[in-house]
Structure 1
Amino acid sequence: MADSRRDSEWSPSDLTAVPTPTLSRSPTLALDIDINNPADLEAQLLRLKERRDSANTTSSTSSSSSDTPSKPKPKTLSTYLTTTLSPSSKYLQTQFLFLSFATGIIDACTFSLYSVFVTKQTGNTIFLALSALKHTSVSQNEANVAISISTFFISAVLFGHLGAAVGKQTRLWMFTSNCISTALVFAATASRYWCKQEATGSIALIIIALLSIAMGAQVTLAFAIKVPDINTTMVTGAIIQIATDANIFNRDNSARSRRSVFFLAMLGGAFVGAGCASRGDAVVGLLVAACLKLVVTLMGVV
């Protein structure tokens, strides 16, 4: 009876007391739906479906494009030549050992021919003082020593600044520098063979200048690339470093091995140069050194 009474007391006007459900607007979907308008609701749902399909397509395209590996850029000659050389490369270190061997030959030959070094300017500095004071322990060849020191210095200035402009540690500059240096050694060898063979005079000074410029270029390049322990000319530092190495007897000691091989390369080259000079004309030794430098030049582009 109580339920019947409540049902009989209900009237349509009571609908106004029931709150109308509303949909909150999502900030991402931005729907403006009128729940009392079925057409509007259907249109909004259709637009929502289209947005969802579009977003899925874009995401799929982006994912597939990111998963696709990019093709490597073709390696051009320009890229290859401008590559920075790695001083730790065994191949590069081998080239510098060949240059060290050539240095030993050239200095042994030039000292036997002209009583002067074209690479070891420390010795030339001592010779210059002894010659100026007319000491009997050295030949009176102040002109030879002076031209060697001065042209070596000019070469270092020229090739040092040119290398900095081109890229002193690039394959291109090493190839260019070695080409010029090798050509100068060949020119000096030809001059010694074809021209008047005297220990002093204008021809001797020209040959010394050509060799000093060539070796100045080589040593400048070696110091620029900074191959560890192989500078192609100075063995004093290598000897000191070997002697003071706390790990000298360790089996795995690459620094000690490089310094030792560098010293042996210089010593071996000196024996070859001295042998050529003692058994004939030192021009043979210069030719061997020039050929070695040519081999290194060709190795630089491989």
Structure 2
Amino acid sequence: MESWNKASAEERNSEPAARSLPHSTRYWTEPLRADMFVEMQLLLLTFSTGIQDAICFPDFHGFASNQTGNTVLLAVGLAGNSGVFNLTNIGLSLAAFIAGAIFTGQIGNPIGGTRRWWQFLVNIIQTAMIFGAAAIQHLHGVREIGPWPHFALGLLAASSGSQVASARAFRMTEISTAMATAAWVDLVIDPAILARSNRSRNRRSTFLIALVAGSFAGAYMQARIGSSLALFVSGIGKVLVTIAILLTRARSADAK
């Protein structure tokens, strides 16, 4: 949290200097405004994440984004009870997720995680990873073990870790784009849950709706059209968000 606050302060302090830059440079370097438009982007990412995890567990017997589940299953597997999950895939997914989060978070901290160029770049990388996983599933078929399935799962998990880290830069903690446990608890214990106006409650509830809807959509598509096409649909959602970043208002626009 301290590093995020420090990064936020650096972004605010750099805004006066940024206004003296050429328009094109200022456009790319200004931090983005965390408004309703960004909320919609995060909800679309959440829907796409639901699609991915609904595909990953049947295909790989492990999750790409739900690292709470992977962490518990990893402990269970190491204790000697493998069950219906794949211990190797779970460990790979957890490692790739953490690597993606470290890369995005630790680079984004000093440069400003909400700057347009950084958000645009990391979303392009994440989108390429998803399409790469879809291509692997299409060309090499759906398998649980082997180099290609491991590569596909690693791409999805790394993309998800990077996505969560880049979303956290906007400090909308109610919309993580992946993990649901805290959102469920915070929603039901909210003392103002029945209030007419409650932005945090609305964010949490729409996040959970998007995640559940994406999971249902992913499960349906995995059974009807196959995993590769379902991942392609998830990638399209990422493409739309990447384009939306170009249209998002800069934070300095608040003062105009």
- For Structure 1 versus Structure 2, the TM-score category normalised by the shorter chain is 0.7 to 0.9
Whether 1:201 and 2:146 are equivalent positions in the alignment is yes
CA distance in 2, matches of 1:136, 1:181: 30
1:280 deviation in Å? 4.0
Structure 1 position 130 matched with structure 2 position 76: yes
**2-structure distance, mates of 1:249, 1:234:** 24
CA distance in 2 between partners of 1:177 and 1:190 (Å): 20
Deviation at 1:278, TM superposition (A): 2.2
Does residue 177 of structure 1 match 2:122? yes
Provide the residue aligned with 1:162 in structure 2: 107
User: How many angstroms does 1:75 deviate by?
Assistant: 6.4
- Tell me how far apart the structure 1 counterparts of residues 179 and 198 of structure 2 sit (CA, whole Å): 21
**Coordinate RMSD, CA, aligned:** 1.7
**1:250-302 CA distances to partner (integer Å, 9 max, x unpaired)?**
11122211111010000000001111122242222211110000000000011
1:266 corresponding residue in structure 2? 211
Deviation at 1:170, TM superposition (A): 1.0
How far apart, in 2, do the equivalents of 1:161 and 1:129 lie? 27
Structure 1: state its 5+ residue gaps.
1-71
Identity of aligned residues (%): 32
1:108 is matched with: 54
Query: Following the alignment from structure 1 to structure 2, what is the Cα–Cα distance between the partners of residues 152 and 262?
Result: 20
1:196 is displaced (CA, Å) by: 4.0
Q: Which residue is 1:77 aligned to?
A: 24
- Matched residue of 1:300: which SS? helix
The structure with the larger Rg is: 1
Aligned to 2:38: 92
Corresponding residue for residue 117 of structure 1: 63
Structure 1 residues 299 and 108, CA gap change in structure 2 (3 angstroms): same
Are the equivalent residues in 2 in contact too, given 1:219–1:231 (CA < 8 A)?
yes
Tell me how far 1:248 sits from its aligned partner. Answer: 1.2
Deviations 1:75-116 (A, max 9, x none): 6121111111222x0001110000011111111111111011
Secondary structure of 2:33's aligned partner: coil
Aligned amino acid, residue 181 of structure 1: Q
Q: Which structure features the higher share of helix residues?
A: 2
Letter in 2 for 1:85: L
Counterparts of 1:134 and 1:279, CA distance in 2:
35
Q: Which segment is superposed worse, 161-170 or 105-114? A: 161-170
The match for 2:185 is: 240
Number of corresponding residues: 229
Q: Assess if the C-alpha contact under 8 Å between 1:131 and 1:138 holds in 2.
A: no
SS in 2 for 1:249: coil
Q: Unpaired segments of 5 or more residues in structure 2?
A: 1-18, 248-256
Mapped partners of 2:82, 2:65: distance in 1: 23
Runs of 4+ in 1 over 3 A off after TM superposition: 72-75
